[in-house]
Amino acid sequence: MTTRLLRFLTAVSALLIFALPARAQGVEQVDIITPHITDSHEIEIPWPTWPTLHKVIELPRWHPFTLPVIGEVDMSPTKHVIWMLIAAFTVGALLIFAANAQGRQTRAVGHSKGFAGGIEAMVLYIRNEVIIPNVGHHGNGFVPFLLTLFFFILFCNLWGIFPWGSTATGNVSVTATLAIITFFVVEAAGVRAQGLGYLNTIFYWNKDLNIVLRVLLFLILSPIEFIGKLTKPFALTIRLFANMTAGHIVVLALIGMIFAFKSIASGAPFLMAVAINMLELFVAFLQAFIFTLLSSVFIGQIREAHH
């Protein structure tokens, strides 16, 4: 009972403390959601300045250059680039550390334990339960790609939940690139598995039908097949982007309600924000898993396709 009371009091006092600056700033309306979910040329880092607790760092701006077809490309590092790099470094460090520890422990006692064991269990689960069953036989070549996809997306998602962090996977450019990479991997897998038969996955040419129906169906179904190829990466793009963005919008809206209420009733949106944050933690894993699972399914489909 006392611990419950203590928890409640802590929550309320935290609310009050963090509500103070908002009160002090008066009633001017600020859009807190858009900057949070969009990219920018500055990042916030933790800094002991009261009460904002962060410091804004301007990122360098480089001259855009022009590429044929694509047009103007601005390679200046942005907030999401930085967080992607952070995610990539943490993934790399953790996995390499885990791999080393696992190798050492395996040599020492025959199996891995602790953190390395956990990472090994994750890697093995993704490999044995997600990739191999869906990709099919000889799917081992796709394991590194799909595992990297999973861990990279997972850590981008997780860094978005971290305070001061930003969700790179909540940016459509990032998810689109990942989906396009997946698209090329899928199509390359199709070409490699089927050779010339790969053309059948685009052009519908059924030799069991008579020539009139064959041409007719070819004209109708070929565009559909082709669009079907493009909808898969599109769905991947939008699913990840929308999930990550939506979660953050919900959390931020609930936090905004805390300050809009300016009363003890703020406890309700606060608790909901906490709950949604928990949900976001789950969604971070779920979406990384789904992206990997669907990529595996697409690769498996095109490798087995016999039209």
Partner 1 sequence: MRRTLVTLSLSVTSATSLLAQEHAAATGESVNLLDPKAGLMFWTLIIFVVLLVVLSKFAYKPLLSAVEAREAALEKAISEAKADRDAASKLLAEQQKQLAETRADVQKVLADGRAAAESMRSEMLEKVKAEGADMLDRTRREMQAEKEKAVAELRREAVDLAISGASKVIGRNLDSATDRSLVESFLSGLDAPKGTR
Residues 267-306 that bind partner 1 (CB under 8 A): 270, 273-274, 277
Residue 86 CB coordination number (10 Å):
18
Binding positions for partner 1, 71-130, rule CB under 8 A: 71-78, 80-81, 84-85, 88, 91-92, 95-96, 98-100, 102-103, 106, 110-112, 119-120, 123-124, 127
User: Is residue 159 close enough to count as binding partner 1 by CB under 8 A?
Assistant: no
Binding positions for partner 1, 242-271, rule CB under 8 A: 245, 251-252, 255-256, 259, 270
Q: Which residue has the tokens 């939506």?
A: 246
> Which of these segments, 40-48, 129-137, 186-194, 199-207, binds partner 1 (CB under 8 A)?
40-48
Between 42 and 304, name the residue whose CB sits nearer to partner 1. Answer: 42
Residue 154 dihedral angles phi and psi, to the nearest 5°: -60, -45
Please list the residues that pair with 73 across neighbouring strands. 65
In degrees, to the nearest 5, what angle opens at C-alpha 224 toward C-alphas 219 and 229?
A: 135
Residue 264 CA: distances (Å) to CA of 13, 110, 257, 270: 10, 56, 12, 10
Site size for partner 1, by CB under 8 A? 92
Among 1, 24, 27, 70, binds partner 1 (CB under 8 A): 70
Among 151, 204, 291, 298, binds partner 1 (CB under 8 A): 151
- For residues 155 and 165, the answer to whether their CB atoms sit within 8 Å is no
- For residues 14 and 51, the answer to whether their CB atoms sit within 8 Å is no
Residue 50 dihedral angles phi and psi, to the nearest 5°: -85, 140
Which residues have a Cβ under 8 Å from the Cβ of 77 and sit 6 or more positions away?
59, 60
Among 18, 218, 226, 234, binds partner 1 (CB under 8 A): 18
Between 91 and 302, name the residue whose CB sits nearer to partner 1. Answer: 91
Among 23, 30, 138, 219, binds partner 1 (CB under 8 A): 30
Helix axes 143-161, 267-304, angle to 10 degrees: 170
Between 59 and 217, name the residue whose CB sits nearer to partner 1. Answer: 59
Binding positions for partner 1, 170-229, rule CB under 8 A: 171-174, 176-178, 181
